[in-house]
Amino acid sequence: MIGGLFIYNHKGEVLISRVYRDDIGRNAVDAFRVNVIHARQQVRSPVTNIARTSFFHVKRSNIWLAAVTKQNVNAAMVFEFLYKMCDVMAAYFGKISEENIKNNFVLIYELLDEILDFGYPQNSETGALKTFITQQGIKSQHEDKRRAIPDHQPGDWANWLAAGGHQVSSERALPGCAGECEPPHVPTGGKQSIAIDDCTFHQCVRLSKFDSERSISFIPPDGEFELMRYRTTKDIILPFRVIPLVREVGRTKLEVKVVIKSNFKPSLLAQKIEVRIPTPLNTSGVQVICMKGKAKYKASENAIVWKIKRMAGMKESQISAEIELLPTNDKKKWARPPISMNFEVPFAPSGLKVRYLKVFEPKLNYSDHDVIKWVRYIGRSGIYETRC
């Protein structure tokens, strides 16, 4: 099991150190700093073995979280735990930063005492923890009001768009009530059913019931949560097509043309569209012309960023740019990173629909009719990339 847990700042200074097992000495803290944080080369593995001690680490902005053990622990569990730890901390005090960690160190120790006992992970649902945790989270003053999102939220799951995604929100979660909704794969209203490759569920879902009855039944925890994730590769309507054209004009000039085409009902509007076109490192100047939206060359990000607020379905838009290059004697060719895109569309590109949602609340005697239910479909891009 986990023998100890350390949190470091980017310099390798220890902010939090909690040791659960005798086999982990104080030198373990230093070993990780010297061999991983201060290592000359880029880290090649999230698991490091130093002198028969294994270190698991994850990074959130410039904070390192490291779990240490001398046993053959369940590695997947340790990483899941570290992510959960980050989620819990984020829920209490927002962004995981050196400042916030220092501000909340008593809380963090209390959390570590509660959710990791002798190295065994314990219940770590934020809602459930309220019963046990006495400290309050202190958020940074600099932080803006919107809910801080951890650096790498599980929500931005890679195939979110490619797979098509939607969110089901219930306005208020009723404590102690149970919900049930019909999963995909069942013909809805005479329409075709869709095939999904795989899906996973939040731990509140009764998996054995889903396995036998194919309906998702669950007792929701407090607050917002991700009930289900699914993955599909067949019959997806890609909301946008990206057609890039890159031409090298001599050694010092590059011509780029990118066309995007929206491929959904003309009555629907896509929002927050952003196209990111990477530029070579030796770019000296860029001229951009675009028909719609605004485009800017951002030298610090080595990219042209093209933003369009709204775009209806079955439309086409185009950007063209001339990129001037400084002559270099670097032999290596430019690696041409892919063009990436972000957007939101008001439907699920996979075609997935929620057929019904029923609420049971025996104690308070709610009937299913008393509950106001609504479903909103949003398709949000995850990683949406095109090679150029």
Burial 219-237 (b: 16+ CB within 10 A, else e): ebbeeebebbbbbbeeebe
Q: Which residues in the 118-147 window bind another protein by CB under 8 A?
A: 118, 120-125, 131-132, 134-135, 138
| Closer residue to another protein (CB): 157 or 360 | 157
Smallest distance from another protein to CB 96, Å: 14
Smallest distance from another protein to CB 33, Å: 12
329 binds another protein (CB under 8 A): no
158 binds another protein (CB under 8 A): yes
Any idea which residue has 């060719």 for tokens? 333
| Closer residue to another protein (CB): 166 or 292 | 166
Which tokens is 23 given?
């086999």
318 binds another protein (CB under 8 A): no
Closest CA to 28 of 14, 40, 42: 14
387 binds another protein (CB under 8 A): yes
HSE-CB for 15 with a 13 A CA cutoff:
24
**What is the phi/psi pair of residue 89, to 5°?**
-65, -45
CA distance 88 to 49: 27
CA dihedral 146, 150, 153, 154 (to 10 degrees): -120
Q: Which residues in the 37-96 window bind another protein by CB under 8 A?
A: 42-47, 49, 52, 54, 56-58, 69-77, 79-83
Smallest distance from another protein to CB 265, Å: 28
Which tokens is 263 given?
């491929």
Smallest distance from another protein to CB 74, Å: 5
Q: Check the annotation: does 353 bind a ligand.
A: no
Q: Which residues in the 250-279 window bind another protein by CB under 8 A?
A: none
Cβ contact 16:7 at 8 Å:
yes
What's the one-letter identity of residue 106?
A: V
One of 40, 172, 234, 332 touching another protein (CB under 8 A): 332
One of 10, 38, 102, 355 touching another protein (CB under 8 A): 102
Cβ contact 228:200 at 8 Å:
yes
302 binds another protein (CB under 8 A): no
Any idea which residue has 């004697």 for tokens? 329
| Closer residue to another protein (CB): 31 or 75 | 75
35 binds another protein (CB under 8 A): no
Q: Check the annotation: does 296 bind a ligand.
A: yes
| Closer residue to another protein (CB): 16 or 321 | 16
Q: Check the annotation: does 307 bind a ligand.
A: yes
User: How large is the C-alpha radius of gyration of the chain?
Assistant: 25
Residues annotated in the binding site, as ranges? Answer: 294, 296, 298, 307, 309
